[in-house]
Amino acid sequence: MRQKTMYSILVFFGVGVVVFFSLAPFLWQIITSMKPANEIFSRPVRYIPSHIDFSAYVKIFSRHPFARQIMNSIIIACAGTFLCLVASSLASYALARLHLRGERGFLFFLLFLSLFPPVVLIVPLYEMVSTFGLMNNWLALIVPYAALNVPFATWVLTSFFRQIPEALEDAARVDGLSRLGILVRIILPLAAPALATTAILVFIFCWNEFLFALTFMTRATSRTVPVGIAMLSGASQYEIPWDQISAATVLTTLPLVAFVVLFQRRIVEGLTAGAVKG
């Protein structure tokens, strides 16, 4: 009994250390964002501010188009995620149910594509965006974000679709449903956990992506949040406004946290799907 108690204490302590280590950078950003400016670089370091100061949050909205940049990121990330899920759901259903020739090799090819570094596409994509006049346009990011994530999303969803019994589809075909009707009315509702898991991963990619957003969005009002934070400047070119950067980082993280909390149950179901045979 004593050994079991000691083991539980060690496990609890180890988990606590890991959680603290993971949360420490974000907690430090929160503290820095609420410090008075003169305490950010004080020596010795002040871990607890003398008083709470929210002026950094006021500055990023009053001096910079940060609200517009947050809206840009939300629209682009949501649209890119939705477009990716639509395309990958259709492709995954075809690979899971139509028994196409060479589908195994095609899946490995998709896995290879998902590992492809996006940076090698920057030059041809820039030429295409310029040719079609899409600079500073949401479509310049929505379409590439969706396309880059389709291989990974298709790989994940294909494995999940294959676990759904085909007897359900046979019954639906008897009732007169088409392939598309079966996908929309039966497969997708049953695959909600996998869709939620895939959606959160794609959304995080779209939200955090920097290179394409920096290249295709040149106006301050068209930029996404990561680029907007990188472009924050102080009163002079030699001043780095760490308080504003920290405040912007905290506000940028909140939508991701809300998205994960909202779909937490579905995400856990998607991650554990297929772990138990039944």
Q: Which residue has the higher pLDDT, 61 or 270?
A: 61
Structural domain boundaries, residue 29 = 1-53
Q: Name the 3-class secondary structure at 253.
A: helix
**112-132: pLDDT as tens digits:** 877 878 888 899 999 999 999
Chain-centre distance for alpha carbon 76: 11
Query: Does residue 238 lie in a domain region?
Result: yes
Q: How many domains does the chain have?
A: 2
| H or E stretch at 192 | helix 192-208
Are 15 and 135 in the same domain?
no
**Quick one: DSSP state of residue 53?**
-
Query: Does residue 141 lie in a domain region?
Result: yes
> In this predicted structure, what is the pLDDT of residue 214?
92
- The token pair at 175 is 């009732």
Range among 6-20, 36-50, 70-84, 148-162 with highest mean pLDDT value? 70-84
Query: Does residue 278 lie in a domain region?
Result: no
Query: Are 228 and 64 within 8 A, CB to CB?
Result: yes
Q: What is the pTM of this model?
A: 0.84
Greatest Cα pair distance in the chain: 76
- The token pair at 12 is 């609890």
Query: Are 124 and 216 within 8 A, CB to CB?
Result: no
Are 48 and 81 in the same domain?
no
Are 163 and 257 in the same domain?
yes
